Amino acid sequence: MPGTNRTTEEEVGGVEGMKLLVHHEEFKRLNVAFALDEGIASPKDALKVFYGERMPWWIKITATGPTGHGSQFIKETAPTKLLKVIEKFMNLRSEQEKLLEVGLHHNGQRYTLGDVTTINLTFLQSGIQYNVIPMEATCGFDIRVSPFFDMKEFQAKIEGFVASQPGVTMEFVNGHFDNTLTAIDESNIWWTVFSDACKGMNVDYETEIFPAATDSRYLREVGIPALGVSYLKNTPLLLHDHDERMHEDIFLEGIEFYNTLITRLSNVTAAEVEATLIK
């Protein structure tokens, strides 16, 4: 049955929403000093608090080559060259997947998804007829670059993959190139207030890099510290899945949590912020 599908602009990248808004004069006049954004559910008795996120890179790779009848051995065809490039990306994907399994931080905590870079092949397109070798083959990758990666070095690496085959090009369909993190120590008055508020309410939390992308990245890029947190502890992670839900007691606790937290954050003075910056 015909219909319409409506979603928040953030769900499709935020390029025409928050990315533009943070540079608008009306937004600048709001004098935003700090932001709270979304987090995700945690099955543990602790909140997940995100102080940064991975950079979403959506890339399209196109290979071109000679055409001909499918009964022949034609060299340097578009699909052949594209598959060689894809193999390099998938090898890098395997390395990162292994790193997630064995990686440890200095404090002994295991790596989480936000600490590594994910690389996923999301589409392949080539050819129409079974007996004709296509002149063009394309693929798309969804890459989420960890802020702990050297961004320029990583970009040079994947560009090298593409350049290894003649007649293969790459374009960024969507790319964010800022990996600013929000400080989670005493140098950030907002973090101090947040962590003290959680302690006062006996709410445990775990700090992580957000594995996907939210509007927070655009705020951090213009110098506004932001934390991503949703009061969804003891809640199954069913993001965009069937039967996504939250329990009644968590919902009610969340109201009290945000009431207390937002009140405390709102009472931070300009002098306190400046004093932190001077340190």
Nearest C-alpha neighbor of 179 from the set 229, 140, 216:
216
CA angle in degrees (0–180, nearest 5) for 16-17-22: 115
Q: Which residues, 6 or more positions from 217, have their beta carbon under 8 angstroms from its beta carbon?
A: 53, 55, 176, 178, 180
For the chain, the distance separating the N- and C-terminal CA atoms, rounded to the nearest angstrom, is: 61
Strand order in the sheet with 168-175: 118-126, 136-145, 55-64, 168-175
> Is 11 annotated as a binding-site member?
yes
Q: Which amino acid is at 158?
A: I
DSSP code at position 12: G
Across the beta sheet with 35-37, the strand order is 35-37, 226-229, 47-53, 205-210
10 is catalytic: yes
Query: Quick one: CA torsion of 213, 174, 176, 101, rounded to 10 degrees?
Result: 50
The answer to whether the annotation marks 105 as part of a ligand binding site is: no
d(CA 5, CA 17): 18
Q: Is 242 annotated as a binding residue?
A: no
Question: Which is catalytic among the residues 9, 10, 136, 253?
Answer: 10
| CA 112 – CA 43 distance, rounded (Å) | 15
- Name the binding residues: 11, 38, 240
Residues with active-site annotation: 10
- Name the binding residues for Zn(2+): 11, 38, 240
